[in-house]
Amino acid sequence: MGLFADVVNVFVDSRGQYGNPLGIIWSSDSTRGQEQQIASDLGFSETIFIDEVADGRARARIFTPTRELAFAGHPTVGLAAWLRESGDDIRSIAVPAGNVHVRAERDLVFVTAVPEWGPEFEFQQLEAPRDVEAVDPAAYGGGIFYVWAWIDERAGRVRSRMFGPAIGIPEDPATGAAAIRLAGMLGRDLEITQGEGSQLFTRVVDDGRLVEVGGRTADAGSIEVR
């Protein structure tokens, strides 16, 4: 087919390390109706397909290896940052769940969403970060789980991991939708370290009815899908 996906690592740390790879593909006659198979072939936790970009607004769809999502944080943050780096003054992204507002703050790009737009996570709070790090992903045979502990509760610093076998993701390196839901549930801004060292930042707005999630991204080149 000669189909290529651009790849960015989303929610990297301040040195550009870690993060969650995202496949970005422009929709075309060769991709429409094939999005699920393409996302499965790529094997990233999520792949985003751009249907349109015009007047500061993008329209896109998001797929895991096994299903389409109405909203996800890592793909919308990654797409917004990628388009802005390409020179597009993106201010919003329309996804099936609704319209996602985009803003930049220094080297961070944020998107704003309703917490309930994301998948239903089962949140499990543990006693300490070392307990989060000791969890065996093989213990989760189904469902979508977000395991977390306070690093520093007063400062809003959290250690987390996400396991999503129900959506074809054994372990996700960085999960924006879960960060949004956790911040909304706790009613406070958070700085989250997920997986091996991905960094996510949340801001609660509109009395918790909306939550921003943001972070840094790093370009990872492009790959041929098939």
- Of the two residues 122 and 207, the one the predictor is more confident about is 122
Q: Which residues lie below 8 Å from residue 18, measured CB to CB, with a gap of 6+?
A: 9, 11, 12, 173, 174, 195, 196, 197, 198, 199
Which tokens sit at 207? 């009395």
The phi and psi torsions of 73 (rounded to 5 degrees) equal -80, -45
Report DSSP state, residue 96.
T
- Give residue-wise pLDDT tens across range 151-164: 999 999 999 999 99
Distance (Å, rounded) from C-alpha 211 to C-alpha 141?
Answer: 30
Q: Are 64 and 55 in contact (CB under 8 A)?
A: no
Which tokens sit at 86? 């390409």
Q: Does the pLDDT at position 27 exceed 90?
A: yes
Q: 4-104+215-224 has which CATH code?
A: 3.10.310.10
Give me the mean pLDDT over the 32-61 stretch.
96
What class has domain 117-214? alpha beta
Q: Do domains 4-104+215-224 and 117-214 have the same CATH topology?
A: yes
Axis crossing angle, helix 176-186 with helix 73-85, rounded to the nearest 10 = 120
Q: Does the pLDDT at position 1 exceed 80?
A: no
**What's the residue count for the chain?**
226
Q: Which residue from 168, 128, 119 is spatially nearest to 146, judged by alpha carbons?
A: 119
Domain boundaries in the chain? 4-104+215-224, 117-214
Average pLDDT, the chain: 95
Report DSSP state, residue 139.
G
Specify the pLDDT at position 226.
72
What is the three-class DSSP state of 76?
A: helix
pLDDT class of 44 with cuts at 50, 70, 90:
very high
Burial, 43: exposed, middle or buried (Cβ in 10 Å; 0-12, 13-18, 19+)?
exposed
Give me the mean pLDDT over the 135-143 stretch.
92
Q: What residues does 60 pair with on adjacent strands? A: 50
Give me the mean pLDDT over the 105-115 stretch.
96
